[in-house]
């Protein structure tokens, strides 16, 4: 995965949003519901980079688009033609065999389709050497494994086929990280894949609802409303939150009958803690419609041994590609309501329904725009702003507004300003 974008432009937004940190947060594959989560997380970050690149190339209303876009890349390499060709190949295999009794094929039956198999090149199926085998099985077994996943991609009326592995084995048939779909609530066996991306994804609005950002601002096994709210307060609303006093036990009590929000409320909404947490919690609570993997949810699983409903194990005849291996727990409804203040606009401040509502309001805030430009100043000039730089910041914001939201215009304004061109001598 590469980008043709000037690296410093992309790197600014990587550092500003902090989503690459998702790779540093340990996540359990059992709770994820599938394997190879490392590959999936790497692809998730790469595809978030690709989305940022796409928005920067459009260079129109950049900040607003980053905060409110409903289009994402999901298991896509950025080349629509190549993704369409991959889908067409899988559809051709499905169409060729769908009305045949392929489940009971023997080697001689497969030979009747020799020319077609040579043309489509199914993984580990060589019509000139049907005696071949690997650690996953014989040629005929691998053909049937592949057909099961191909059928699952298209037998529910899907228009396109997601180009993930034909069967789960060593290496990859096409490209790694297919389980990135799980972060977006897409099932590999019931996914109407879009070959043209970025494409609309349900229940998402902007980078703050992207799984990469949500994972990067979560704990190993839980969400983190405090750190998410702190990020919004400091990065977008230009606020400051003091460090946790060393005398405070910043832990959340265990209670197997309550949601994380309910437990956090008990721990932080007392008089002593609330004077700081009131700036973070009401913002962070809005993200509770997503779990710590960034998956959309309306119910929160109570993941405790005494709350388990069904323990899921993979049966020998089941494909790990198509099976959700998560255990099933008792649940409670999610409460994602929160409160926004500090935008400087009474029309925007007030009760917030969830993170999507929050993102929409933040994108309309002058203060948010000014805060992003202030961070861009620090990044491109390599220092904090001072009072004498106020004119530079005002000019950069005006350049953004006059150019229909061009980030390039902001960069040009900053790098042609007196703040950048003239260095002041440091006094002893």
Domain identity same for 13 and 85 = no
- Judge if 216 and 287 occupy the same domain: yes
Task: Evaluate whether residue 196 is within a structural domain.
Answer: no
Q: How confident is the model over 236-289, as pLDDT tens digits? A: 999 999 998 888 888 898 999 999 999 999 999 888 899 999 999 999 999 999
Same domain, 268 and 214: yes
Please give the mean pLDDT across all residues of the chain. Answer: 93
How far apart are alpha carbons 271 and 112 in whole angstroms? Answer: 78
In terms of residue numbers, what domain contains 389? 366-421
> Do residues 102 and 95 make contact, with C-beta atoms less than 8 angstroms apart?
no
221 and 317: one domain?
A: yes
What is the mean pLDDT of the segment spanning 168-194? 87
Mark which of 361, 381, 400 sits at the end of a domain: 361
Residues 209 and 305 in one domain: yes
**What residue has token string 């601002």?**
217
If pLDDT is split at 50, 70 and 90, which confidence band does 1 have?
A: very low
d(CA 376, CA 369): 11
CA neighbor of 162 nearest in space, from 188, 144, 180: 188
In a domain, 31, yes or no: yes
Same domain, 60 and 158: no
> What's the half-sphere exposure (Cβ side, CA atoms, 13 Å) at 312?
15
pLDDT of residue 246: 87
User: How would you write 350-395 as a 3-class SS string?
Assistant: EEECCHHHHHHHHCCCHHHHHHHHHHHHHHHHCCCCCHHHHHHHHH
- Is 183 inside any structural domain? no
Domain count of the fold of the chain:
3
Do 293 and 225 lie in one domain? The reply is: yes
Q: Tens digits of per-residue pLDDT, 54-106?
A: 999 999 999 999 999 999 999 999 999 999 999 999 999 999 999 999 999 99
Neighbours of 311 (CB within 10 A): 8
Asked if residue 182 belongs to a domain, the reply is no
Verify that 103 and 153 share a domain, yes or no: yes
Q: Which residue has the tokens 């790497």?
A: 42
Are residues 138 and 264 part of one domain? no
Residue 289 falls inside a structural domain: yes
Residues 92 and 73 in one domain: no
Do 85 and 147 lie in one domain? The reply is yes
22 in a domain, yes or no? Answer: yes
Q: Is the distance from CB of 289 to CB of 117 less than 8 angstroms?
A: no
Q: pTM for this one?
A: 0.94
Is residue 263, in this structure, part of any structural domain at all?
Answer: yes
Q: Looking at the domain assignment, is residue 396 inside a domain?
A: yes
- Higher per-residue pLDDT: 375 or 129: 375
Alpha carbon 44 to its chain's center: 6
User: Which of the two residues, 321 and 140, has the higher pLDDT score?
Assistant: 140
- In tens, the pLDDT along 141-162 reads 999 999 999 999 999 999 999 9
- List, for residues 295-336, the tens digit of each pLDDT value: 999 999 999 999 999 999 877 656 777 889 999 999 999 999
Does 170 or 248 have the greater pLDDT score? 248
Q: Are residues 342 and 267 in the same domain?
A: yes
Distance CA 99, CA 310 (A): 36
């Amino acid at each position: 995965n590469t980008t043709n974008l000037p690296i410093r432009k992309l790197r600014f937004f990587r550092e500003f949003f902090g989503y690459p940190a998702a790779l540093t947060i340990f996540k359990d594959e059992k709770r994820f519901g599938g394997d190879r989560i490392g590959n999936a997380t790497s692809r998730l970050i790469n595809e978030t980079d690709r989305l940022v690149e796409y928005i920067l190339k459009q260079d129109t209303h950049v900040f607003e688009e980053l905060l409110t876009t409903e289009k994402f890349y999901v298991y896509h390499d950025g080349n629509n033609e190549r993704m369409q060709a991959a889908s067409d190949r899988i559809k051709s295999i499905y169409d060729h065999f769908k009305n045949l009794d392929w489940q009971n094929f023997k080697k001689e039956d497969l030979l009747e389709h020799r020319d077609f198999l040579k043309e489509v090149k199914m993984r580990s199926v060589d019509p000139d050497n049907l005696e071949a085998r690997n650690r996953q099985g014989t040629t005929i077994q691998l053909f049937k494994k592949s057909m099961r996943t191909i059928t699952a991609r298209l037998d529910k009326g899907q228009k396109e086929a997601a180009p993930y592995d034909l069967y789960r084995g060593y290496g990859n048939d096409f490209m790694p990280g297919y389980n990135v779909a799980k972060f977006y609530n897409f099932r590999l066996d019931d996914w109407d894949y879009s070959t043209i991306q970025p494409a609309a994804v349900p229940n998402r609005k902007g980078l703050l609802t992207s799984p990469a950002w949500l994972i990067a601002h979560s704990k190993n096994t839980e969400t983190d409303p405090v750190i998410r709210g702190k990020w919004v307060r400091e990065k977008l609303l230009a606020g400051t939150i003091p460090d946790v006093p060393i005398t405070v036990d910043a832990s959340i009590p265990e209670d197997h009958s309550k949601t994380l929000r309910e437990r956090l409320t008990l721990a932080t909404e007392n008089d002593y803690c609330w004077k700081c947490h009131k700036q973070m919690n009401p913002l962070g609570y809005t993200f509770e419609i997503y779990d710590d993997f960034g998956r959309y949810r309306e119910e929160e699983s109570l993941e405790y041994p005494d709350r388990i409903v069904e323990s899921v194990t993979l049966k020998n005849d089941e494909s790990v590609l198509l099976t959700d291996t998560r255990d099933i727990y008792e649940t409670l409804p999610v409460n994602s309501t929160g409160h926004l203040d500090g935008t400087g606009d009474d029309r925007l401040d007030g009760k917030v329904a969830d993170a999507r509502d929050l993102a929409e309001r933040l994108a309309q805030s002058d203060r948010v725009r000014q805060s992003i430009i202030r961070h861009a100043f620090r990044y491109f000039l390599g220092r904090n702003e001072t009072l004498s730089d106020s004119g530079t910041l005002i000019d950069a914001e005006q350049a953004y507004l006059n150019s229909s939201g061009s980030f390039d215009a902001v960069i040009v304004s900053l790098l042609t300003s007196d703040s950048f061109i003239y260095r002041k001598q440091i006094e002893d």
